[in-house]
Amino acid sequence: MNTDFVLYLAINTLVVIAVSPLFVSLIKKVKAWTQGRQGPSVFQTYFTLIKLLKKEVIYSPNSSRIMRVTPLVTMAAILVAALFVPLVFVPEPVGGMGNIILFMSLLALARFFMALAGLDAGSSFGGMGSSREMSISSIIEPTTIVVFAALAFVFKTLNIFDMFAISVSTGSPSLSTLILIGISLFIIIIVETSRIPVDNPETHLELTMIHEGMILEQSGRNLALMELSAAVKMTALMALLLNLIVPFGITTSLTLAGILIALILLVVKCSILTGIIGIFESSMAKKRFFQLPSLFAMAFFFSTLIIIIEVFS
């Protein structure tokens, strides 16, 4: 493990923590605009997090240690996962870091704990949230893996670092493949970050909530961790999409200027993407839960299409 890599760890983690709340607020802002409202400040999420950190934590008497460790584990797992997606700087991969399956599994680890925490207090909403979350994540899994397989197929590597390096140095593969990968990854982002039409992050209306249902019991600093980890996860996934499709700006050498440029470019690219997500969300209604499989089937179709196109061309 060289110093570059250690620096990478530090930079990536700090960057992702620093910028991700911004994008959460940005989406809200975009949605507010499309609805003709002014919306909260783009820094609202930061304020919320700080407020939450100052509050006390309340545990239900029924809850066990799962409830207590979940925020930490979730945060840790997602931060490590975020390390797998270089935001501004692509180092040489060390010890299998950047393995795309491991990335996916780390997200699954966080989800596993969250779902258990949802069940822990015994409230029916938490249970409902967990149940739906696990169901959705299960049926999106084939799509995700096929998209990843397609990526591996296109880039001839399993490692996200290498993929980025290839896309930076040699440019991306054919346009059609890119579009398809883009669409598939986009759907995955929507699902993984619990956005409309899969989930509605805004409401606490009982019948529609999934992700929010799971973390209903969380409070204070724990809630802050959960919120932050959700934001980090979104950022990491967005970065994965962006750095594959529009890789320009990301640096492979460790220079201050390069990193600063990359950071600015990242924020710009992500802001555009959040804009797209916001508009997408606003133009959609939340789907009924049991209509989701058909949405996923569509995603699966796209991802399989990539494979088929790649295989037969």
Partner 1 sequence: MIAELFILALLVLLAGTIFPLIAASLDRRSVRTISLSCTIVASILLGILSLVNLLSGDSVSFTLYQPIPAFSLSFVIDRLASFFLLIIAVVSACVALYFTEYIEHMDGESRRNLLCSCTSLFILAMVLVIASANTLAFFLFWELMAASSFLLVTYEYTHDETRKAGTFYFIMTQLSSLFVLLGIILLYTQTGSFAISPVYGGMTYLAILAFLALFAGFSIKAGIIPFHKWLPYAHPASPTPISALMSGVMLKIAVYGLVRFLLDVFTPDLWWGVLILAAGTASAVLGIIYALKEHDVKGMLAYSSIENIGIIFTGIGLSVIFTASNLPGLATLSLLGALFHSLNHAMFKSLLFLTAGSVVSATHTRDIEHMGGLAHRMPVTSALFFVGAVSIAALPPLNGFASELLIFMSFFSSVALVDPLFKVLLFICLALFALTSALSSACFVKAFGSIFLALPRSPESAVAEEVPRAMLIGPGILAAACILLGVCALQIFAFVGFAVPLPDMLLISLLLVSMAVLTYAVLYFTASREVRVSETWGCGTLSQQASAEYSGHGFSEPLDIIFSAIYRTRTTSERTFHDQKNCIFKEGTGEIRLLKVFEEYLYRPIAQQSMSITKSVSRFQNGCLDTYLLYVFVTIIALIIFLGWFA
- State yes or no: cis peptide before 142, omega within 30 of 0: no
234 neighbors 190 (Cβ within 8 angstroms):
no
Nearer to partner 1, 37 or 55 (CB): 55
- Quote the least distance from Cβ 149 to partner 1, whole Å: 6
Write out the DSSP string of 217-249.
T--HHHHHHHHHHHHHHHHHHHHHHHHHHS-TT
Q: How far apart are CA 288 and CA 197, in angstroms?
A: 8
* Residues recorded for the chain: 313
| Phi, psi values for residue 155, rounded to 5° | -95, -5
**Residue 7 interacts with partner 1 (CB under 8 A): yes or no:** no
Going residue by residue from 86 to 115, which x/- string records binding to partner 1, judged by CB under 8 A? --------xxxx-x-xx--xx-xx-xx--x
56 DSSP assignment: P
What's the min distance (Å) between Cβ of 35 and partner 1? 27
We find the least distance from the C-beta atom of residue 278 to partner 1, in angstroms, to be: 28
309 binds partner 1 (CB under 8 A): no
| Contacts of partner 1 in 237-266 (CB under 8 A) | none
Q: Applying CB under 8 A, does 36 fall inside the site for partner 1?
A: no
Element (H, E) at 267: helix 256-282
The footprint of partner 1 on residues 157-196 (CB under 8 A) is 158
SS3 159: strand
- 139 is a site residue for partner 1 (CB under 8 A): yes
The residue count for binding partner 1 (CB under 8 A) is 86
User: Which H or E element spans position 160?
Assistant: helix 160-170
CA gap 23, 195 in Å, rounded: 13
In angstroms, the CA 234 to CA 89 distance is 18
298 binds partner 1 (CB under 8 A): no
* Among 88, 191, 224, 240, contact with partner 1 (rule: CB under 8 A): 224
Query: Which span sits near partner 1 by CB under 8 A: 30-38, 128-136, 258-266, 270-278?
Result: 128-136
Q: Figure out which of the listed residues 15, 19, 75, 244 binds partner 1, where binding follows CB under 8 A.
A: 75
> Which range of residues in 26-34, 152-160, 232-240, 263-271 is near partner 1 by CB under 8 A?
152-160
Distance, CA of 186 to CA of 132 (rounded, Å): 21
Q: How far is the CB of 253 from partner 1 (least distance, A)?
A: 23
Closest distance of CB 246 from partner 1, Å = 25
Choose the binding region for partner 1 from 28-36, 149-157, 162-170, 184-192 (rule: CB under 8 A): 149-157
Residue 230 interacts with partner 1 (CB under 8 A): yes or no: no
Regarding 80 and contact with partner 1 (CB under 8 A), the answer is yes
Angle between helices 256-282 and 175-192 (to 10 degrees): 70
